[in-house]
Amino acid sequence: EAVEYSILPYPVFEGSKKVAIQRGNGMIVTASSEQKEYAAALFLKWFTKMEHNMQFISQTGYLPVTNGAFEAVMNRNYTPPADENIRKLLDTAVQMHKEYNFYIPPVFDDFDSMGKTWQGEFYNSISSE
C-alpha cells in the first residue's frame, strides 16, 4: 500500500523561538597506503564538485556539503529531485533555514554520550506514562 509522507519543520511551543541544533557529518581519509590516500582524496575532490554533490543530494536527500550546492538548494536553483519525499525534505530544509536560528553545540569529549543519556532518559519518561 502506498504511503504519503509529510516532512515538517521541528515543532516549537507557541510563542517560543524557532531553534534547531546544527550538527553535521564529516568526510575523512584515514592513514593508509599513499596510493589509497591519494585515491580517497581524488574521490572527495570529485564528490564535492557542485554538479556531483547536487546529483547526490537529489537522489538521497542528504544536505549539501559545499557552499555552492547549499546556495543552489536555498535559492531553489537546481533541477528538483524526481523523488517526491526528497523534494519535501529539501523544501522543509529551505523553510527551516529561513525561519529558524541554528544552535551549534560546543565540542567536548562527552557530548555524544551526554546526548544519548538524555535521549534514553527522555524515552523512559514518556514510555512510563
pLDDT tens for each residue of 24-64: 777 888 999 999 999 999 999 999 898 888 888 888 888 88
pTM of the predicted model as reported, rounded to 2 decimal places: 0.71
Q: Which amino acid, one-letter code, is at 129? A: E
Strand residue runs (E) in the chain: 19-21, 101-103
pLDDT tens for each residue of 55-106: 888 888 888 888 888 888 888 888 888 899 999 999 998 899 999 999 988 8
Which pLDDT score is estimated for 129? 60
Number of H helices, E strands in the chain: 5, 2
Phi, psi of 44 (to 5 degrees): -65, -40
